[in-house]
Amino acid sequence: MVEPLVIPHADHPISLDQIDPDALKVLSRLHKFNHQAYLVGGGVRDLLLGRIPKDFDIGTSAHPGEVKKIFRNCWIIGRRFRLAHIKFGQKTIEVATFRRKVRSETPSEDQQTGKKRNATTVDDLLKPIRRDNTFGTAEEDAFRRDFTINALFYDIATFKVIDYVGGLKDLRDGIIRSIGDPNDRFIEDSVRMLRAIAFMTRLGFRLDPPVHRAIKRHQNEIAKASPARMIEELYKILRSGFATPTLRSLSAHGLLSPIAPEIEHRKTGSLWRSLKALDLYRKKSGFIAENLTNPILLGSLTQPVQPLDLSHRRRDSKHPIDIKLGRLPVARRDIERLRQTLQIQPRLQNANIGVTSQRAVMHRRAFEEAITWLEIHGDDLESLGKWKSFVASDGLRQPKVKRRRRPRRRKASAQNRPAARTEDQKNRKVEE
């Protein structure tokens, strides 16, 4: 058992006012049901750095099923790594049960001595991790995380920061340090190499020398990572506001080619200008995830190197539209939405477009994304201003037409219903 470093409230800058109210509700309710629960990961790191966290994630002793029983607005996701997602409108608070390291099924070889290591030790892990639903304590959870700066806990009950792995010192020194042997950590999960580069560029930190050497040694392992996770991490990078330096650094460390060779082999000035424009928009506008949709991000990355053929439609099976990013699963719906966004651009920049045509363009599905694209990559500020004024003008909006409902047919009451014919009447009708 490791004795953690505990920082009292007076010695750190975090206050409850900085934490999302819904995250506080989740933490308080878990405490009410006698579960341990801490604010964990990047949220704690960013608060200590004086930054506004993008997410407020929670670690708890409660198992996913127990979390679901406590919160009616909870959904369990994932198979390899089961998580509880608690919904508050469009917002999601992620709750993860404390995990422990998964022990190896077979002995592994020590890289320095060449001897077989004992497979029963805590430090010998499955390589790579195939399952991660083995629950443990808060201490065990801290030691199974990727980097020290991401393994800090904040307790809202005591207002204390809890550090098991030396993350506070690395945070002060600006170092990306692996928890344990980085060679093992990257073999367990090769996506961690990409995350290390992303943290380095976004935070302005430096890589710990062993981390740097491990990335150089295992750079080709990134190609074995889950394609779904890789595309998710790539979109996070593009949305971060630091896409340009991160992509440059990935290329310099030999990680871009295994991920997206199409981008690595065709890096030009137009690519860096596109990514720079994306970063500028993100920093200028603040974090607006709803504007930076996957089609916008995808187009900002790929249009400079493999532009879409806008003449083809999705339903044209003979000429399907496609974008290749190595093995990464680029969704067809995102490609189609990008095509629609680009097709609208000439109409947005048409100075002679009439009011009727303006309304028609506004009703296109990709209109909002088309406006965002024009704002990021367009150079026609006058057209952009006109469209924003048009959208904001209530006088030009088409009023909603109320649909008239067809009057409901009422059943005849017993009083107004015609009386049933008697047998004499029926017989008389037949005789006639």
CATH code (residue 167): 3.30.460.10
| 187 assigned to some structural domain | no
**Looking at residues 47-68, what average pLDDT do you find?**
94
**Above 60 in pLDDT, residue 395?**
no
Q: Based on the structure, what is the number of domains in the chain?
A: 2
Which residues are known catalytic residues?
55, 57, 146
Do residues 186 and 210 touch, judged by C-beta distance below 8 A?
no
Domain with 369, as residue range(s), is: 334-392
| 349 assigned to some structural domain | yes
Residues near 44 by beta carbon (within 8 Å), at least 6 away in sequence: 14, 152, 153, 154, 161
| 116 assigned to some structural domain | no
**Above 90 in pLDDT, residue 277?**
yes
How far, in Å, CA of 213 to CA of 215, rounded? 5
**Three-class SS of the chain:** CCCCEEECHHHCCCCHHHCCHHHHHHHHHHHHCCCCEEEECHHHHHHHCCCCCCCCEEEECCCHHHHHHHCCCEEEECCCCCEEEEEECCEEEEEEECECCCECCCCCECCCCCCECCCCCCCCECCCCCCCCCECCHHHHHHCCCEHHHCEEEECCCCEEEECCCHHHHHHHCEECECCCHHHHHHHCCHHHHHHHHHHHHHCCEECHHHHHHHHHHHHHHHHCCHHHHHHHHHHHHHCCCHHHHHHHHHHCCCHHHHCHHHHCCCCHHHHHHHHHHHHHHHHHCCCCCCCCHHHHHHHHHCCCCCCCCCCCCCCCCCCCCCCCCCCCCCHHHHHHHHHHHHHHHHHCCCCCCHHHHHHHHCCCCHHHHHHHHHHHCCCHHHHHHHHHHHHCCCCCCCCCCCCCCCCCCCCCCCCCCCCCCHHHHHHHHHC
**Above 70 in pLDDT, residue 190?**
yes
**Above 70 in pLDDT, residue 295?**
yes
Count Cα neighbours of 167 within 13 Å in the Cβ-side half-sphere: 29
Structure tokens at 110: 């020590």
**Above 80 in pLDDT, residue 301?**
yes
**Looking at residues 233-249, what average pLDDT do you find?**
95
**Above 80 in pLDDT, residue 43?**
yes
- Per-residue pLDDT band for 318 (boundaries 50, 70, 90) equals low
How far, in Å, CA of 241 to CA of 229, rounded? 20
Strands 57-60 and 91-97: parallel
Helix axes 332-348, 294-302, angle to 10 degrees: 80
**Looking at residues 396-422, what average pLDDT do you find?**
55
**Looking at residues 343-372, what average pLDDT do you find?**
85
**Above 90 in pLDDT, residue 34?**
yes
- Give the amino acid at 306: Q
| 406 assigned to some structural domain | no
101-152 pLDDT, tens digit per residue, is 765 443 444 434 444 444 444 334 445 555 556 889 999 999 999 999 999 9
Instruction: Report the pLDDT value the prediction gives residue 396, as an integer from 0 to 100.
Output: 45
| Beta bridge partner(s), residue 207 | 176
**Above 80 in pLDDT, residue 238?**
yes
- Per-residue pLDDT band for 423 (boundaries 50, 70, 90) equals low
**Looking at residues 370-395, what average pLDDT do you find?**
83
Residues 13, 16, 21, 24: is their CA dihedral positive or negative? positive
Instruction: Report the pLDDT value the prediction gives residue 278, as an integer from 0 to 100.
Output: 95
Instruction: Report the pLDDT value the prediction gives residue 156, as an integer from 0 to 100.
Output: 96
Instruction: Report the pLDDT value the prediction gives residue 66, as an integer from 0 to 100.
Output: 95
| 201 assigned to some structural domain | no
How far, in Å, CA of 265 to CA of 257, rounded? 8
Structure tokens at 414: 């017993």
| 203 assigned to some structural domain | no
How far, in Å, CA of 212 to CA of 219, rounded? 10
> Residue 194: which of 112, 270, 131, 249 has the closest Cα?
249
**Above 50 in pLDDT, residue 90?**
yes
Residues near 267 by beta carbon (within 8 Å), at least 6 away in sequence: 251, 305
> Residue 36: which of 212, 162, 166 has the closest Cα?
162
Instruction: Report the pLDDT value the prediction gives residue 312, as an integer from 0 to 100.
Output: 59
Instruction: Report the pLDDT value the prediction gives residue 401, as an integer from 0 to 100.
Output: 46
Most confident listed range (226-240, 310-324, 339-353)? 226-240
**Looking at residues 226-238, what average pLDDT do you find?**
93
